[in-house]
Amino acid sequence: MSQASHQWPLWEVFVRSKNGLAHKHSGSLHAPDAEMALKNARDVYTRRSEGVSIWVVPSSSITASSPDEKDPLFAPSDDKVYRHPTFYDIPDEVGHM
Amino acid sequence: MGETHSLEDRFQAFVEAENKVEPKHWMPDGYRKTLVRQISQHAHSEVVGMLPEANWISRAPSLRAKLILLAKVQDEAGHGLYLYSAAETLGTSRDQMIDDLLSGKAKYSSIFNYPTLTWADMGAIGWLVDGAAIANQVMLCRTSYGPYSRAMVRICKEESFHQRQGYEIMMTLAKGTKEQKAMAQDALNRWWWPSIMMFGPSDDNSPNSAQSMKWRIKRKSNDELRQEFIDKTVAQAEFIGLTLPDPDLKWNAETGHYDFGEIDWTEFFEVIAGNGPCNAERLAARQKAHDEGAWVRDAATAYAVKQAARKPNPSTQTHAA
């Protein structure tokens, strides 16, 4: 029980499933340091050849946007339809563009 | 006035539209509490679930069987970790959950309070217990809480090996000598009823179910899941020539399902209340593992602190406090 007051820090685990693809969030785990976090991540998240590379990041280092500000944060990209190729009418005769 | 919606109403509409709830979203206290209880119980079940099977690792009948069993038990530990992590996103701590398990405050699946008497029990557990767990977990892949759903997707991918290896053990024994077949039948006799109890009390006796369904935490009722499991399992038992120990089990052409006998709910509630054959033994084993692992946790912490102090780069410091 003596350890109850200092729980190991939380780490977020990102796994690259194969070379050429980006690392993707797999989950999280507790570990005393980065090295142990990597070893634990190997055992917890890649028991079936799920990855060729692992990143571990202290959860406390991640700054996340808040869902409450989702609308104001992302609204500017919603009203710019001209950023999408389908906005433009190009005659079929021109061919694929 | 008609335009004002309470946060609860908006939340309800959000989940009914099949949106996933994420950790930072607003959610009703009841939703959060239900999930913390359910996910932590689920995590505890994975962890305690290692014990009945660990009992047979050293006595597995072949190296192949031993390697498989080791891999399966390691998976269960992994599943526990995925689930503890999912529960932690709701604001509870790992230490709190472990304390609640060890103090007996938190529950885990009643099935793990039954003893594993023979090698055939490894088969029956994989086939029936993991089979029942899969039925529940496949449904939970569509649960409304994002982190729980993602943990379930990962777990389901891994569970199917568990059920197949169990069925293989039963099949091998059923095709073996008379004694081996009898051993398989005996394991089936002992595990069948506890397995179908795993889905929980019947719907009219399960007060929290309706709210969980409304919040889209659960997507199917206990009775629905139980019926699906029984319907699937009957043919699997027939195929290997074993008999499900229920004289009332018979096909009902009208409903398109198998009818089955009365479940002994007194036994179920007794086991839940802590009076099953192995409740005390299981908790004692967890407590022992926790206590005997303390020096390892302390050493790892001390090492991390020492390494961090040596390193000039402060970005790798630990947050031991």
Tell me the DSSP string of A25-74: EEEEEE-SSHHHHHHHHHHHH-TTS--SEEEEEEGGG-----GGGHHHHH
In this prediction, residues A53-58 reach a mean pLDDT of 98
Q: Is residue A8 within 8 Å of B293, Cβ to Cβ?
A: no
Cα separations in angstroms, B205 against B45, B201, B208, B217:
22, 6, 9, 18
| Helices within chain B (DSSP H only) | 7-16, 29-48, 50-54, 63-88, 94-102, 120-124, 130-140, 146-174, 178-197, 209-214, 222-239, 265-270, 279-292, 294-310
Task: Give the bridge partners for A51, in sequence order.
Answer: none
**Chain B residues touching A27 at Cβ < 8 A:** 82, 85, 150-151, 154
List pLDDT tens digits, range B193-239.
999 999 999 988 888 889 999 999 999 999 999 999 999 999 999 99
Phi, psi angle pair for A15, to nearest 5°? -120, 130
List pLDDT tens digits, range B152-187.
999 999 998 999 999 999 999 999 999 999 999 999
Residue B314 above 60 pLDDT?
no
- What pLDDT is recorded for position B316? 52
- Is B160 in CB contact (< 8 Å) with chain A? no
Cα gap B301→B147, rounded to integer Å: 28
Nearest one of B206, B51, B37 to B113, comparing CA atoms: B51
Q: Is residue B135 within 8 Å of B48, Cβ to Cβ?
A: no
| The two three-digit tokens of residue B19, written as one number | 């949106």
Half-sphere exposure of B317 (CA within 13 A, CB side): 8
Nearest residue in chain B measured CA to CA from A8: B320
Query: Mean pLDDT, chain B, as a whole number?
Result: 94
In this prediction, residues B308-314 reach a mean pLDDT of 76
- What pLDDT is recorded for position B114? 97
Tell me whether residues A32 and B318 touch, CB distance under 8 A. yes
- What pLDDT is recorded for position B62? 96
For chain A, the structural domain boundaries read 4-64
- What pLDDT is recorded for position A78? 76
List pLDDT tens digits, range B63-117.
999 999 999 999 999 999 999 999 999 999 999 999 999 999 999 999 999 999 9
- Is A54 in CB contact (< 8 Å) with chain B? no
Residue B119 above 50 pLDDT?
yes
- What pLDDT is recorded for position B320? 44
- Is A79 in CB contact (< 8 Å) with chain B? no
Q: Is residue B22 within 8 Å of B14, Cβ to Cβ?
A: no
- Is A86 in CB contact (< 8 Å) with chain B? no
Tell me whether residues B318 and A9 touch, CB distance under 8 A. yes
In this prediction, residues B286-311 reach a mean pLDDT of 93
**Smallest Cα distance from A20 to chain B, Å:** 22
Enumerate residues 300 to 319 of chain B having a beta carbon within 8 A of any beta carbon in chain A. 300-301, 303-304, 307-308, 316, 318-319
Question: What number of other Cβ atoms are within 10 A of residue B76's Cβ?
Answer: 23
CATH of domain A4-64: 3.10.20.520
Residue B4 above 70 pLDDT?
no
Percent of chain B with pLDDT over 90: 90
**Chain A residues touching B300 at Cβ < 8 A:** 8, 32-33, 36
- What pLDDT is recorded for position A69? 73
Nearest to B82 among A3, A6, A27 (CB): A27
**Smallest Cα distance from A7 to chain B, Å:** 7
**How is residue B19 annotated by DSSP?**
P
Q: How many CB pairs under 8 A join A and B?
A: 68
Tell me whether residues A9 and B319 touch, CB distance under 8 A. yes
pTM, rounded to two decimals: 0.90
**Smallest Cα distance from A10 to chain B, Å:** 9
**Smallest Cα distance from A29 to chain B, Å:** 7
Tell me whether residues B88 and A10 touch, CB distance under 8 A. yes
Tell me whether residues A29 and B320 touch, CB distance under 8 A. no
- What pLDDT is recorded for position B207? 80
Q: Is residue B316 within 8 Å of B308, Cβ to Cβ?
A: yes
Which has the minimum average pLDDT: A29-43, B11-25, B134-148, B304-318? B304-318
